[in-house]
Amino acid sequence: MNLVVGATGLLGREICRLLTDSGRPVRALVRASSDPVKVARLRDSGADLAQGDLKDRASIEAACRGASAVIYTASSTLSRQPGDSIETVDRQGQLDLIDAAEAAGVRHVVLISFPGTETDFPLQSAKRAVEARLQGSRMTWTILQPTCFAEVWLSPALGFDVAHATAQIYGAGHNKTSWISLHDVAQFAVAALDAPRAANAVIKLVGPEALSPIDVVHLAERITGRAFTVQHVPEDALRAQHAAATDPMQQSFAGLMLYYAAGDVVDMADTLRLFAVPPLRSVYEHLQSSLLQSTHEV
């Protein structure tokens, strides 16, 4: 049995889909407060549902019982209920889950983290504490560190709106990042369950090409045939926000935007030799599908 924690999230839903499509048993952790439409889709796809919350230790102990693997994608950053915070969910909740998985005899935990960044912030320290606890456990572990998800950072939610030809860029926009599609992150997470060289490994995940935010705007202009209106959030403003923030979530958002502004390029050749995954999605494909989706929504 494969327990997916974060099953109602963007990435968790895709992981559950890949698991059920390949005929593997899935137990999806959902909350009483989770979106009923997402919960119904999980149930209809054949996943078993386990109701629980990372703040309720007994519920996660019950969810781990009988599971052989856990794929962990949950985070309080975008989907929050009262009482959810970086401290209660991303740090303590995840540490408790590792304890519960170990006590229940889970064999393999796949953790979705992110790459180390120069600037420190509460979400980063929580992720590092959880990585260290998992590495010290008796279980087989795989720590995946994807870069920026195209579906999040190159989406209207963060100001990159292909349909309306507008883009918000964090920093000057000249540093390159190897944007990754969350669909590919899901493929890697599922493949990690079977790839012998993914056992006890920290693996950085990036997409197939490095593009600066300005390159992405030019690509989007070619696809749409429209000139984009571009707004920049200066790096100095992000540094000031990071330094002045008293709220751990706000400081973490500033830290993540500084990571985007700095850029991150990695050669994936070695990683691709470790995993059997389909060809990675390009930013071009992501932009085209965003445009198509927005046309359907109109």
Closest approach of ligand NAP to the CB of residue 225, in Å:
28
Query: What is the smallest separation between the CB atom of 227 and ligand NAP, expressed in angstroms?
Result: 27
Q: Which residue is nearest to ligand NAP (CB)?
A: 9
- Which residues bind to ligand NAP, rule: CB under 6 A? 6-12, 31, 33-34, 53-55, 73-76, 78-79, 84, 89, 93, 112, 114, 146, 148-149, 152-153
Closest approach, Cβ 133 to ligand NAP, in A, equals 15
Which residue, 224 or 277, has its beta carbon nearer to ligand NAP? Answer: 277
Minimum CB distance to ligand NAP, residue 208 (Å): 16
Closer CB to ligand NAP, 149 or 253, in the complex: 149
Nearer to ligand NAP, 83 or 229 (CB): 83
Helices 235-244 and 248-262 sit at what angle, rounded to 10 degrees? 150
Distances (CA, A) of 146 to 31, 113, 154, 228, 297: 26, 7, 15, 28, 29
Cβ-based burial of 108 (10 A; exposed 0-12, middle 13-18, buried ≥19): buried
Cβ-count burial 265-293 (b if 16+ within 10 Å, e if not): ebebeebeebbebeebbbbbebbbbbeee
Find the shortest distance in angstroms from Cβ 16 to ligand NAP.
10
Between 34 and 251, name the residue whose CB sits nearer to ligand NAP.
34
Single-letter amino acid, residue 166: T
Q: Which is nearer to ligand NAP, 79 or 282 (CB)?
A: 79
CB of residue 98 vs ligand NAP: minimum separation in angstroms?
14
- Token pair in block for residue 68: 């052989």
Please, what is the end-to-end C-alpha distance for the chain in angstroms? 41
Tell me the closest approach of the beta carbon of residue 243 to ligand NAP, in angstroms.
Answer: 23
Count of alpha carbons within 13 Å of 230, Cβ hemisphere only? 19
Nearer CB in complex with ligand NAP: 224/289: 289
For residues 64 and 70, the answer to whether their CB atoms sit within 8 Å is yes
Amino acid at 183: H
Cβ-based nearer residue to ligand NAP, 8 or 142: 8
Question: 241 to each of 48, 120, 160, 246, how far by Cα in Å?
Answer: 42, 13, 21, 10
